[in-house]
Structure 1
Amino acid sequence: MPAGDRLTRRGMLASVGAAGASALAGCGGIGDLTGSGETTIRSHELPEVDPDENRQLVAPTVPVAIDGAHLAAARDRTTSLLAELPMPLGPDEIPNGHVRGRLLGAADDATDALDEARRAETDFVALRELRRSRERARYAAGGWRFAAGSQSLVDLRSARQDAVAEAREFESSREYRGSDPVRAALVHARIEALLRRATDDDSPHTEADGGGLLTVAEWAEEVETARALLADARHLGSQFSASLSADAGTVEAELRRAAETLLADVRSRRDDLPPEPTADDWGARERIVHELRSDADYGAKRVADAAGPASAALDATGRLAAFAALDGVLERIESGEQFAVESAADVRRYRQTAVDALTSALTGSPEPGLTRTVLTDAAGHVWSADWELSRLSGEVRPARLTDPVSSYVVAAALARAAPKASERAAEALTSA
């Protein structure tokens, strides 16, 4: 295509989004994912995926040691709460079947989370799962305590206020200590996220039971959530401080400058975002562009909008990766990429490409910690696609594979873009 005839990204995307558009100014036609229309694919020929097993293709981490005793304490807290329930919990204890089922369901959730913590690939994932196990166990135990006459809603509301106040006090007094600004950003972002949730004093969504058992159970869970979040934030902070030299200073100013620099990069790119696809019948191209465009456009616009400066810097890293991923996809569309699926082998190829891209980015990045923060989101797209595939059965029309294949393409594009975005973030952090 002559240089003068090449479409701008904006014009090209508008062409892609126009209903019935099938070619780009002399370039090869860009087809829809629907293949040959009436062709079907046998579901058993699609990739064999287990969303439960593949939930963490790239598990989140934190570059600080999590004490085994802290994890054990969380496990013990869960088991002690579950031990309060009279088992089997039957109609003699809780006559209302719906209410009884909710408590038993929460107890099952707590047990499942304990199992997930044991199988966790990283201690940080185990920390998260143990927190969830505590929350759900407290829901069940709080409901039972109310039924037994030993728990009141007034006491729980007061306990929640105390927990939130304690978290706010810790948040306001803690220092952003560190020596390596990249490592500091990765740790402090985790702490900021925990404290953002712990200091949220919005009332929980409760059952319309007039302050009855299930409302009390919800409030009990909220109390446990605030306490668990604060405990984990304190632990990460103390473990990180213990890993630093005695003369390590604070890096808050550096984190804020780096976040502002990276967010300025994001803002400068937002003005050049192409318009949303406008086709009435979206195919793979429109879905892929929409997803990456949304990833690029979403997020903190200022440091003040984020949970803190470290979170803002990491969020901006993800946005920059999304911009680069979108650029790559638009170039492929411009060159004639169809993202077509005509057989199960095509689906397997898209999925394997995504998995390989995740692995390559993680092992080959000079900034693996920052890159991993982008890849965990990218891996989420693979999990979503796997879940959709696992729901299919019998003969499948190619059009039904639009969403999962689009997710695989998005994941691969983000993975390829992650290392360079992470290098930019590291540069901003170390030069701030």
Structure 2
Amino acid sequence: MRDGTPSTEGTHLTRRGLLAVAGASVLGGCSSLDGLASDSESTIRAYDLPDVDADSIPEPVVAPSVPVDIHPGYFASTRDRVTSLLAELPTPLGPDDVPNGHVRQRLTDAAAAATEGLDEARTARTGLVALQSLRDAREHARYAAAGWAVADRGLSVDPLQREHGRAVTDARSVRNDHEYVGTDPVAAALVHARIEDALEWVTDNDRPHTHNEGELLTVAEWGETAELARAYVADARHLDDRLTASLPDDAGTVEGVLTRAAESLFADIRSRRAALPPEPTAEDWGLVERTVHELRRQVDDPRQAGDAPGPASAVVDATDRLAKFRAFDRVRERVDAGEITSAESAEAVREARTTAYDALDTALEESPDSGLARTVVSDASWRVSHADRELSRFRGDISHGRLDSVLEDYIVATAVARATPAACQQTVDALETA
């Protein structure tokens, strides 16, 4: 499966929800909800807002992708791994198997999540999403299988810790031996960045997030951590193999190009960051202040090219940050022009939502490289998913201010999407001249 499906085609909402952007609406307070407007406030009827089906909100709206073919055999072997782990569990898992009801439910939930991950992979919009879903499925299946192995045969944590240690060693070895092969620097950056990120996850997460809930669940947590580490290493190797297989035999390295381009892009980022205006100073923050603050927070990041997992990740990250700098500037221009205000009508919300969706599509169409653009707008499109989720929860009469968090998400996503083509062009130019 080669990634590159249309940007905003729908998909069923999955179990992982919209946690990636949930914090974005904290400043707006609770958002859903029936009859929160006082009698004296002007209101908008939820009935008049865009009709969003909670069961068909894509997450994110623009699916992430990677510009290589993932071999069908690799998907098949990963599915087989999940099903073999699940086959170790008795079905159903009853009180005679695991007497503790809480523990039993944790294992049952993990097995269900693994099964759901298999289903998500089958309907995934891109190969990368399928890969991520199967990796999650492996993690959950191993949690359930390891936990059951404690009850069934007294499995201890020791072999799982050794297994995890071997995976970390493998990740470091793969990282040390990694060669940045490629002919197209942009495509190479997108693939190598995924490899860098996967390997860094393994080397940086040397222990599971245990919750001290007893021996069985501790072993289960070590099991899922070991399995996830193995999955990340395997995925990194497969992406590297598939990229290499797609290249001519005489393809050289693009490491120097990526490194020099990253340094050039981050030089611009440093200049832009040094010129950032101060935070909004209004005593009472409304939609304008929160929107400006959110974008300013995202660009006021001290990390440099050398802080990334590698030069490919640095190039991709720089593109994202440059898009957000441009988005920040554009939002400030709109604020100065008085164009950002709380929703005066349901139609204003509808227009903001439509504008956001159109901007995401346009960013992919007008960018010099749609794959590079997709890495930026996929992240930004989580905000559209989150705003849609909030809209689906409103009932009754809603005060205008209650819709500010929804508008903020649509406004920020629109601004980033509209800034993406120029940011991508800057990155393409930097790679061409590096």
**Does the pair score TM above 0.5?**
yes
Structure 1 counterpart of 2:399 = 397
In structure 1, C-alpha distance between the alignment counterparts of 2:40 and 2:304, rounded to whole Å: 47
Q: Quote the Cα distance in structure 1 between the aligned partners of 2:328 and 2:286.
A: 16
Q: 1:245 aligns with which of 241, 244, 248?
A: 248
* 1:87 equivalent in structure 2: 91
Equivalent residues in 2 for 1:223-238 (5 A)?
223-238=226-241
SS at match of 1:148: helix
In 2, distance between residues paired with 1:126 and 1:187? 16
User: Given the superposition, is the C-alpha separation of residues 52 and 168 from structure 1 closer, same or farther in structure 2, using an over 3 Å criterion?
Assistant: farther
Q: Is it true that 1:118 corresponds to 2:141 in the alignment?
A: no
Match of 2:327 in 1: 325
Q: 1:251 to 1:52 in 2, by over 3 A?
A: farther
* 2:172–2:203 CA contact under 8 A, matched in 1: yes
- Equivalent residue, structure 1, for 2:71: 67
Please give the alpha-carbon distance, in whole angstroms, between the structure 2 residues aligned to 1:201 and 1:340: 43
CA distance in 1 between counterparts of 2:344 and 2:142 reads: 50
- CA–CA separation in structure 2 for the residues paired with 1:51 and 1:234: 37
Decide which of 337, 340, 344 is 1:338's aligned counterpart.
340
SS in structure 2 of the partner of residue 145 of structure 1: helix
Instruction: Give the total of aligned pairs.
Output: 396
Task: Summarize the Cα distance change of 1:431–1:356 in structure 2 as closer, same or farther, 3 Å threshold.
Answer: same
1:268 is matched with which residue?
271
- 1:24-63 aligned at under 5 Å gives the runs 38-50=41-53, 53=56, 54-63=58-67
**Within 2, Cα distance between the matches of 1:84 and 1:142?**
9
Task: Please tell me the residue identity of whatever aligns with 1:263.
Answer: F
* CA deviation vs aligned residue, 1:187-236 (integer Å, no higher than 9, x gap): 101111111112224321212235x1111110000000000000100000
Letter in 2 for 1:84: E
Residue matched to 2:24: none
Structure 1 residues 249-258 or 332-341, which shifts more? 332-341
Whether 1:370 and 2:372 are equivalent positions in the alignment is yes
Indicate if the aligned counterparts of 1:263 and 1:301 stay in contact, CA closer than 8 A. Answer: no
Select 2:362's aligned residue among 360, 363, 382.
Answer: 360
Give deviations 1:212-270, integer Å, cap 9, x for gaps: 11111100000000000001000000000011111111111111111110011100000
Tell me how far 1:51 sits from its aligned partner. 5.3
| Alpha-carbon separation, structure 1, partners of 2:370 and 2:63 | 12
Aligned residue for 2:84, secondary structure, equals helix
1:105 and 2:109 equivalent? Answer: yes
Which protein is bigger by CA-based radius of gyration?
Answer: 1
Instruction: State the Cα distance separating 1:52 from its structure 2 match.
Output: 5.2
Q: Which runs of 4+ in 1 moved over 6 A?
A: none
Separation (CA, whole Å) in 1 of partners of 2:408 and 2:205: 38
Q: CA deviation at 1:278?
A: 2.7
Query: Residue 155 of structure 1 aligns with which residue?
Result: 159
| Aligned pairs (5 A) from 1:11-26 | none
Instruction: Tell me what 2:178 maps to.
Output: 174
RMSD across aligned positions (CA): 1.6
Say whether 1:259 aligns with 2:262: yes
Identity among equivalent positions (%) equals 55
| CA displacement at 1:68 relative to structure 2 | 0.7
Q: 1:356 to 1:268 in 2, by over 3 A?
A: same
**Aligned residue identity for 2:245:** A
For residues 382-418 of structure 1, the C-alpha deviation after alignment (integer angstroms, 9 at most, x for no partner) is: 1121222223222211211111110000000000000
Structure 2 residue aligned with 1:30: none
With over 3 angstroms needed to count, the CA separation of the structure-2 counterparts of 1:280 and 1:109, relative to structure 1, is: farther
Q: Cα offset for 1:102?
A: 0.7
Q: Which residue identity is paired with 1:60?
A: P
1:150 Cα shift? 4.6
The range that moved more, 384-393 or 185-194, is 384-393
The 1-side partners of 2:260 and 2:349 are apart by 44
> Is the 8 Å Cα contact of residues 182 and 430 (structure 1) preserved in structure 2?
no
Contact 2:265 2:427 in 1 (8 A): yes
The runs of 5 or more residues in structure 1 that have no matched partner are 1-33
* Whole-angstrom distance in 1 between the partners of 2:280 and 2:77: 51
| Structure 1 residues 51 and 382: alpha-carbon distance in aligned structure 2, compared to 1, 3 A threshold | farther
8 A contact 1:51–1:383 mirrored in 2: no
Distance 1:64 1:375, change over 3 A: same
Match for 1:292: what amino acid? L
2:414 alignment partner, one of 398, 412, 421: 412
Q: Give 1:200-211 correspondences, 5 Å limit.
A: 200-210=204-214
Q: What are the superposed Cα offsets for residues 45-99 of structure 1, whole Å, 9 maximum, x if unpaired?
A: 2222245532132111111111011111111111111111111111111111111
Q: CA deviation at 1:149?
A: 1.9
- Give, in whole Å, the separation in 2 of the partners of 1:200 and 1:340: 43
Structure 1 residues 52 and 304: alpha-carbon distance in aligned structure 2, compared to 1, 3 A threshold: farther
Question: Deviation at 1:381?
Answer: 1.0
- Per-residue deviation, 1:183: 1.1
Is the CA contact 1:161–1:201 (under 8 Å) kept in the aligned structure 2?
no
Partner AA of 1:239 in structure 2: R
Q: Which residue of 2 aligns with 1:313?
A: 315
